[in-house]
Amino acid sequence: MKNKLIFVLSICSLLVSLFLVKPALAETAVTTARIGVENRVDIKATEPTEEETFLFIIEAKDVNAPMPQSNQLELKGSSKGFFDDITFGNVGEYHYRVYQKAGSDKRYTYDSTVYEVTVYVSYDSQKETLDARITANKVGEEAKREILFQPTYFLEHPQPKTSQSQKHQVRGKFPSTGEIVSSAAILGGVLLVSSVSVLFISKKNKETE
């Protein structure tokens, strides 16, 4: 009887320990996530002699969201890269913001798109590990997409376009071809009448003498 009781207690202790171990594993498990960025330069002129280095920033939207070692990523020209690994130790949903920082080169129009990035961290009971899944979308949009920035390169910085009203004002400063011809005809007529009048007066004076 005593042996049976000891056996039952041992089984119960084993079951209790199994139930306690999994939560403990979940609390100590960690996982990492890498947020990738692609930069694709749209060239509107000849290839630049030297590729621009573009700077990208990641910011946490949640106070409890872990951050990579550096919140900056540099990419040269059209290329891809990743921010430093982000380590997660708890199940949850973590939100970030990623954008391209405008540079000082006037030949480029930098991409002002801002991406909202969400990292979903869940516990895999079979593997007894944490899993991280990343999604991204443009601010104001729901569609999931890759984090892609498309700055534009011009040989010269683009000048502001002239509006239609400005074009009309410029045109108004100069007479049209029709106006020039009409003015010339009037002036010619005046000169002709003046010449005839002078000749007529001269002839009249001679007859009087």
Residue range 173-209, pLDDT digits in tens: 555 555 555 565 666 666 766 665 656 566 655 555 5
Q: What is the pLDDT of residues 36-57, one digit of tens each?
A: 999 999 998 777 778 899 999 9
* pTM of the model as a whole: 0.63
Higher pLDDT, 161 or 191: 191
Q: Evaluate whether 82 touches 35 at the Cβ level (below 8 Å).
A: yes
The rounded mean pLDDT for the chain is 80
With a cut of 90, say whether residue 149 has pLDDT above it.
yes
- Per-residue pLDDT at 22: 47
Distance CA 94, CA 58 (A): 13
pLDDT-above-70 percentage for the chain: 61
Q: Which CATH architecture has domain 30-153?
A: Sandwich (2.60)
Highest mean pLDDT among 8-22, 66-80, 175-189: 66-80
CA distance to 9, 26, 29, 127, 167, per residue, from 22 (Å): 21, 6, 10, 11, 75
> What are residue 171's phi and psi, to 5 degrees?
-65, -35
Side-chain half-sphere exposure of 152, counting CA atoms within 13 A: 8
Mean pLDDT, residues 82-104 taken together:
97
Alpha helices of the chain — where are they, by DSSP H? Answer: 2-28, 164-172, 177-208
Q: What is the DSSP letter of 85?
A: P
**From CA 51, how far away is CA 41, in angstroms rounded?**
10
User: Comparing 64-68, 110-114, 159-163, which segment has the lowest mean pLDDT?
Assistant: 159-163
